[in-house]
Amino acid sequence: MKVLVTGGAGFIGSHVVDVLIESGHQVSIVDNLWEHGGGRMENVNPEAAFYEIDVRDPALAGVFKEERPEAVCHLAAQHSVKLSTDDPAHDARVNALGMINLLQCCTQFGARKVVFSSSGATYGTVEKMPIDENTPQHPESPYAITKLASEHYLRYWKAAYGLDFTSLRYGNVYGPRQDPTGEAGVIAIFARAILLGEPVRIDWDGEQQKDYVYVRDVARANRLALTRGSGEAYCIATGQGTSVNALYRGLADIVGREVEIIKSPKRPGDIYLSTFNCAKSEKELGWKAETGLEEGLQLTVGYFRNSLNV
């Protein structure tokens, strides 16, 4: 199948590209290598056609005209909760208006389906764990609002123009190529710091748990959703919570080094436990997380060992 991957130079998008190419798909990429994002040319699979274009740019239509994708995996985004609160207008321009430009190109040039990278952040603070697809969504940041708005645009475009979609709501994605200097991505941040012998910061008491899902598993969910999950949303996570303390312990054991731990107060919005029930993904997409945390941490440390040359 001909697939366009937006954000295909980024952390998750580049793994989506790799998995699609390995499965025999013909892939093109649109990514503007945004300075605050995780997009890097070295992440780009050489077998994909690469277009350095902004998803908001009318020139996106030229890519559709040239490539005629049958499906789009849409990952290009302003991906940071913090940046979305600092500059909500930029967040809305990229995440909402960029989505609309993409949808218009899809209908104009006959793409059949969009697989959208949504987020568990769209749920906000929930009353009951684990989260599933029926949990009410109460987004609590501009980023989460534009992700949820995008889910609604997809529903509208399906009803109005017959463009199919699947929304994938990720837990905390981790693995090789994640930006270790960002504000989020605790596994990448810790892995880098421990490998370099630098201190790590642990907020609250470190016992807060989140659901960490390995990036290749997320990429596989994108591949499966190209042909399954019509008009539906799915939680993509593991169902297991892991504490920040346990992540530090696991990574320090793998690297074989302890570093200084700087204790810091609870951050606004931090919650004690966040996990997902992914039964619907298993039943309807045939998807289940396959990479255990220990294996995923090993692979992540291996990647950063190479890239940091330590």
Ligand X SMILES: NC(=O)c1ccc[n+]([C@@H]2O[C@H](COP(=O)([O-])OP(=O)(O)OC[C@H]3O[C@@H](n4cnc5c(N)ncnc54)[C@H](O)[C@@H]3O)[C@@H](O)[C@H]2O)c1
- Give the binding range for ligand X (CB under 6 A) out of 27-35, 83-91, 124-132, 159-167: 27-35
Which position has the token pair 């997380």?
Answer: 289
| Residue 74 C-beta: closest distance to ligand X, Å | 7
- Minimum CB distance to ligand X smaller for 172 or for 194: 172
Single out the residue of 48, 77, 92, 115 in contact with ligand X (rule: CB under 6 A). Answer: 77
Single out the residue of 75, 247, 259, 297 in contact with ligand X (rule: CB under 6 A). Answer: 75
Asked if 142 is part of the footprint of ligand X (rule: CB under 6 A), the reply reads no
Single out the residue of 3, 12, 83, 224 in contact with ligand X (rule: CB under 6 A). Answer: 12
- Give the binding range for ligand X (CB under 6 A) out of 52-60, 150-158, 247-255, 287-295: 52-60
- Minimum CB distance to ligand X smaller for 17 or for 259: 17
Single out the residue of 28, 84, 119, 277 in contact with ligand X (rule: CB under 6 A). Answer: 119
- Range 225-254, binding ligand X (CB under 6 A): none
Cα–Cα distance, 75 to 215 (Å, whole number): 13
- Minimum CB distance to ligand X smaller for 41 or for 308: 41
Judge contact between 72 and 3, C-beta under 8 A.
yes
Asked if 38 is part of the footprint of ligand X (rule: CB under 6 A), the reply reads yes
Q: How many residues bind ligand X (CB under 6 A)?
A: 29
- Minimum CB distance to ligand X smaller for 157 or for 178: 178
- Range 168-227, binding ligand X (CB under 6 A): 170, 172-173
Q: Mind spelling out the 3-state secondary structure of the chain?
A: CEEEEECCCCHHHHHHHHHHHHCCCEEEEECCCCCCCCCCHHHCCCCCEEECCCCCCCCHHHHHHHHCCCEEEECCCCCCHHHHHHCHHHHHHHHHHHHHHHHHHHHHHCCCEEEEEEEHHHHCCCCCCCECCCCCCCCCCHHHHHHHHHHHHHHHHHHHHCCEEEEEEECEEECCCCCCCCCCCHHHHHHHHHHHCCCEEEECCCCCEECEEEHHHHHHHHHHHCCCCCCEEEEECCCCCEEHHHHHHHHHHHHCCCCCEEEECCCCCCCCECCECCHHHHHHHCCCCCCCHHHHHHHHHHHHHHHHCC
Judge contact between 121 and 81, C-beta under 8 A.
yes
Is 143 labeled as catalytic in the residue annotation?
Answer: yes
Asked if 114 is part of the footprint of ligand X (rule: CB under 6 A), the reply reads no
Single out the residue of 3, 4, 5, 10 in contact with ligand X (rule: CB under 6 A). Answer: 10
- List Cβ neighbours of 162 (8 Å cut-off, separation of 6 or more): none
Six-digit token pair at 170? 């990720």
Which position has the token pair 């998750």?
Answer: 12
Single out the residue of 56, 210, 216, 223 in contact with ligand X (rule: CB under 6 A). Answer: 56
Active-site residue identified among 51, 123, 143, 153: 143
Binding track over 148-167 against ligand X, x by CB under 6 A? --------------------
| Residue 258 C-beta: closest distance to ligand X, Å | 27
| Residue 154 C-beta: closest distance to ligand X, Å | 13
Q: Which residues form the catalytic set?
A: 143
Interacting residue ranges for ligand X, rule: CB under 6 A: 7, 9-13, 30-34, 37-39, 54-56, 75-79, 94, 98, 117, 119, 170, 172-173
